[in-house]
Structures are given as structure tokens and as C-alpha cells.
């Protein structure tokens, strides 16, 4: 079993270091082989909305940087954990680039979800379970709630945690998450 | 004279930008005799390494109107980077802070305008981080279709709603006393079923892929998990 830990080297706070150590240890104890992707801003540029990944080279981003390799590793992991600093209640710019550029892993079409809203269908039958962990110093409650809502209100099969002291809370939360490959419905 | 800075934040290149179109509609309602208007194209700003100059322009703003497409239920990474870097620039010691009003115009391809709400909340949070006053957002569903079919009779109502929302921004800019304003939601009133909207959207992708020499089944390729 493979766990892929994606982190952003732009926000190397003490909290980040604790969280990174804790997460790595947790998955190692669960028997996972850990792979790390430690990103810097210049590694992954932003999605340009060209839709080349849907209509030119389906399933692959046509921008020639490290992202194709990241998407391949994401799709072939059992669990993917994103460690993101909480910025304006959202992800850090580099983590957001990685999320935006996950678009090749979805299909372009529209489908209706059980709640009546519209969504793109998955490209693959199964996906890794995904966990986003937000961290930061002096984050307001409003921003923490927004960080959760940004993902949980719109996506299924993905978990969001806010890292906070004491770290036992995060371990407990991680323990309650079902791990392993899941369906890809957004 | 008040400075109004219109921030267009579509990451697209060499293509018509829906976000810019909405921003221009909003900007056209603002009287040029009373206000100075400047447009910042974030994509161009990155391409031409013009960030420092654009941050300087933005720091002079009394009003910011930020228009962008929804990317994965939130801000595009490009705009996130721009706002983070701007916050670092603006909050650095020595910069003169002004009272700024901020508005957001967010559009998505999904027909439901509500999907844009969290992106508007992020702009609100950004505003709080730079001590600006977030006023309200205009949330637009089916944005690309609204622009493509704006002359069609069935789109009349939606276009009227857009114009009315942008009039509300203009009026709010003029108001010296801020009263609470709710965000405005605008979707397309389809003359046909949602199922047909989905179907037409799907045909659009297939047509574009075919133009690129692809067969329909190739759209479903699974390059990273060949055995599925």
C-alpha cells in the first residue's frame, strides 16, 4: 500500500514540521510505504484553462512541467495526503495549482448528482482516498470553516482536517477515515 | 476622483475570456467622468512580469472589482498566487493603507450559481486580511453559455439580471454609508431541460476533440491506469 504525501515548501512553519512528521509516522505505522512530493512554487505552474487535457491529449496535462508525473503518482497511490497552509480560507497557491491541474483525471461531460447539482464524471473506476490537511498559525475560525466548506460542500470521497494542537486530535481524526482506493465521483 | 481597479483573472490565453466580458459589462456602467478606471489582466501581469507595477496600481485603488472563473470550486491557482503576493506587498511597512471596497464576480460552467459561494467567501477573507471592506459578490452559473448566447431571446432575462447586478455595484460604490448587501445569484433560465444542457455541453467537447483529430472513444482514455 502506498501513501503519497504532497506538501508545499513555501510555508515551512513549525506547525508544518510537526504535521509532516506526525502524518508520515501515522501512515508508516499503518503499514504504508510513504512517498513524498515536496513542492516549490516553481515546480508546478497554474492551470491555464486550455482544456487540452480533455480535447487534445485526454487524461494528460499538456503543460510540460512536473505535474504529469505528479498526476501519475496520485492515480497509482492508495492514499494521497495534501498538507496545505490555510490561505484566505483556501489552499496555498502551489497546492491549489496541484488541485486545479488534477482536472485531466476527470471527464469533460456533465452529470447530475443525487442532490441535483451538476458535476463532471470520473475518468477512472477507482481513485486513491484523498485527505487534505490545513494548517497555519493564528487562523480565524471563519477561515477554518471556509477551508472545510471549500472541499466538503462540493466533493465526495475526500476528507478535510484542520491540524491543531493537541496532535492526538489529528491522529484520532485520521484513524476515523476509511483508507484505500475509492470511487471517483466528485 | 476615486480609483476603480477592475481585476480580470481568467488564466486563459489567446481566447475570449468570459470573466473579462462580465467585468467589462460591470465597468461600462461606471461613469468615467466621475471615476478613474484601470483594468489589470492578471494573466498578462504574470506573462509580462508586470506584477510590481500592477500592485502599485492596486494599492491606489478605492474600489476593486475582481472577476474570475471558478476552478475546482474556488479561485484559480493563478489568482490565489496573485492575491497572496499582493497581500505581502500591500501589508509591508511603509505602504499607505486606504479604505477599499471589494466586489467579486465569479462565474462557472455549471448551471448552478450557488457553486460559486465559497469562492466569494475567499475574496471576503482576502479583503479582511488586507483590512479592506468586502461588499458583495455576483455569482453566475452557466457563464460561458450566457456570453455565447447573450443575444438569444431565452437569455434576455439573465442578461437583464446581470445588468441589474452590475448597476447595484455601481450604486454601492457611490454610497458613502455602507448598508449590508447580499450577494446576487444569476443562473440561466433554460428554455429546454437540464438534460439537454448536459447533452449540448457533451456534444461541444466531442466536436472540439474531433477538430483535434481525436475519435470519441479517445476522450475516455485512462493514461495512468491502463488496466482499468
Q: What is the pTM of this model?
A: 0.96
Q: Let me know: does B120 contact B186? Beta carbons within 8 Å.
A: no
More confident residue, B45 or B196: B45
Q: Let me know: does A154 contact B115? Beta carbons within 8 Å.
A: yes
pLDDT of residue B176: 82
- Which residues fall within 8 angstroms of residue B134, CB to CB, at 6 or more apart? B102, B104, B123, B124, B127, B128
Average pLDDT, chain B: 93
Which pLDDT band holds residue B216 (cuts at 50, 70, 90)? Answer: very high
Cβ distance of B201 and A72 shorter than 8 Å: no
Nearest 5°: the CA angle B181, B183, B185 is 145
Q: What is the 3-state secondary structure (H, E, C) of chain B?
A: CEEEEEEECCCCCCCCCHHHHHHHHHHHCCCCCCEEEEEEEHHHHHHCCCHHHHHHHHHCCCEEEEEEECECCECCHHHHHHHHHHHHHHCCCCCCCCCCEEEEEEEECCCCHHHHHHHHHHHHHHHHHCCCEEEEEEEEECHHHHHHCCCCHHHHHHHHHHHHHHHHHHHHHHCCCCCCCCCEEECCCCCCCHHHHHHHHHHHHHHHHHHCCCCHHHHHCCCCCCCC
Integer CA distances (angstroms), B75 to A93, A166, A171, B6, B62, in order: 10, 31, 30, 16, 23
More confident residue, A64 or B190: A64
> Residue A153: its chain B contacts at CB < 8 A?
73, 118
Domains and CATH numbers, chain B: 2-191 (3.40.50.360), 192-228 (no CATH)
pLDDT of residue B135: 97
pLDDT of residue A58: 97
Closest CA to A56 of A1, A10, A130, A108: A108
Interchain CB contacts (distance < 8 Å): A and B = 158
At B18-38, the pLDDT tens digits run 999 999 999 999 999 999 999
Q: Is the pLDDT of residue B201 over 90?
A: no
Query: Which DSSP category does A137 fall into?
Result: S
pLDDT of residue B195: 83
Interface contact A167, partner B, CB < 8 A: no
pLDDT of residue B154: 84
Interface contact A48, partner B, CB < 8 A: yes
Q: Determine which of A160-164, B80-84, B158-162 has the lowest per-residue pLDDT on average.
A: A160-164
> Residue B194: its chain A contacts at CB < 8 A?
112, 118
- Which residues fall within 8 angstroms of residue B57, CB to CB, at 6 or more apart? B5, B38, B40
> Residue B71: its chain A contacts at CB < 8 A?
47, 49, 96, 100
Q: Let me know: does A8 contact A83? Beta carbons within 8 Å.
A: yes
Q: Above pLDDT 90, what percent of chain B?
A: 78
> Residue A118: its chain B contacts at CB < 8 A?
110-112, 194, 198
Cβ distance of B11 and A109 shorter than 8 Å: no
Q: Is the pLDDT of residue B86 over 80?
A: yes
pLDDT of residue B170: 95
Mean pLDDT of B65-82: 98
- Which residues fall within 8 angstroms of residue B99, CB to CB, at 6 or more apart? B62, B132, B133
Q: Is the pLDDT of residue B98 over 90?
A: no
pLDDT of residue A162: 94
Reduced to 3 states (helix: H, G, I; strand: E, B; else coil), residue A118 is strand
Cβ distance of B80 and A96 shorter than 8 Å: yes
Domains and CATH numbers, chain A: 2-175 (3.40.50.360)
Q: Is the pLDDT of residue B192 over 90?
A: no
> Residue B110: its chain A contacts at CB < 8 A?
110, 117-119
Residues of chain A with pLDDT under 50: none
Cβ distance of B121 and A100 shorter than 8 Å: no
Cβ distance of B197 and A110 shorter than 8 Å: yes
Amino acid at each position: 500500500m502506498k501513501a503519497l504525501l504532497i506538501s508545499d515548501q513555501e510555508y515551512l512553519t513549525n506547525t508544518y514540521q510537526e504535521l509532516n512528521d506526525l502524518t508520515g509516522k501515522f501512515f508508516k505505522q499503518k503499514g504504508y510505504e510513504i512517498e513524498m512530493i515536496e513542492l516549490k512554487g516553481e515546480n508546478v505552474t497554474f492551470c491555464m484553462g486550455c482544456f487540452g487535457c480533455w480535447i487534445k491529449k485526454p487524461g494528460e496535462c499538456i503543460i510540460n512541467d512536473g505535474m504529469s508525473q505528479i498526476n501519475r503518482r496520485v492515480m497509482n497511490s492508495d492514499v494521497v495526503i495534501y498538507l496545505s497552509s490555510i490561505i484566505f480560507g483556501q489552499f496555498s497557491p502551489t497546492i491549489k495549482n496541484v488541485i486545479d491541474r488534477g482536472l485531466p483525471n476527470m471527464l469533460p461531460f456533465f452529470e447530475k448528482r443525487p442532490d441535483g447539482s451538476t458535476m463532471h464524471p470520473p475518468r477512472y473506476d477507482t481513485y486513491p482516498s484523498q485527505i487534505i490537511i490545513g494548517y497555519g498559525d493564528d487562523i480565524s475560525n471563519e477561515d477554518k470553516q471556509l477551508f472545510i466548506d471549500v472541499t466538503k460542500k462540493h466533493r465526495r470521497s475526500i476528507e478535510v482536517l484542520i491540524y491543531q494542537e493537541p496532535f492526538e486530535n489529528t491522529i484520532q481524526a485520521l484513524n476515523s477515515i476509511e483508507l484505500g482506493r475509492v470511487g471517483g465521483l466528485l | 476622483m476615486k480609483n476603480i481597479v477592475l481585476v480580470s483573472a481568467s488564466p486563459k490565453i489567446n481566447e475570449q475570456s468570459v470573466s473579462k466580458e462580465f467585468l467589462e459589462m460591470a465597468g461600462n456602467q461606471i461613469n468615467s467622468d466621475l471615476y478613474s478606471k484601470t483594468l489589470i489582466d492578471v494573466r498578462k501581469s504574470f506573462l509580462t512580469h508586470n506584477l510590481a507595477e500592477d500592485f502599485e496600481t492596486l494599492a491606489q485603488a478605492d474600489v476593486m472589482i475582481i472577476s474570475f472563473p471558478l476552478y475546482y470550486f474556488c479561485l484559480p491557482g493563478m489568482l490565489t498566487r496573485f492575491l497572496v503576493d499582493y497581500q505581502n506587498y500591500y501589508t509591508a511597512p511603509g505602504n499607505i493603507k486606504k479604505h477599499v471596497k471589494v466586489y467579486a464576480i465569479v462565474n462557472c460552467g455549471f448551471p448552478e450559481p450557488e457553486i460559486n459561494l465559497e469562492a466569494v467567501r475567499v475574496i471576503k477573507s482576502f479583503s479582511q486580511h488586507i483590512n479592506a471592506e468586502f461588499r458583495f459578490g455576483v455569482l453566475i452559473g452557466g457563464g460561458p453559455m450566457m456570453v455565447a448566447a447573450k443575444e438569444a431571446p431565452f437569455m434576455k432575462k439573465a442578461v437583464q439580471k446581470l445588468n441589474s447586478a452590475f448597476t447595484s455595484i455601481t450604486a454601492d460604490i457611490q454610497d458613502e454609508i455602507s448598508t449590508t448587501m447580499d450577494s446576487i445569484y444569476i443562473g440561466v433560465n433554460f428554455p429546454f431541460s437540464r438534460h439537454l444542457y448536459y447533452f449540448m455541453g457533451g456534444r461541444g467537447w466531442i466536436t472540439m476533440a474531433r477538430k483535434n483529430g481525436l475519435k470519441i472513444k479517445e476522450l475516455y482514455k485512462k493514461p495512468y491506469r491502463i488496466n482499468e
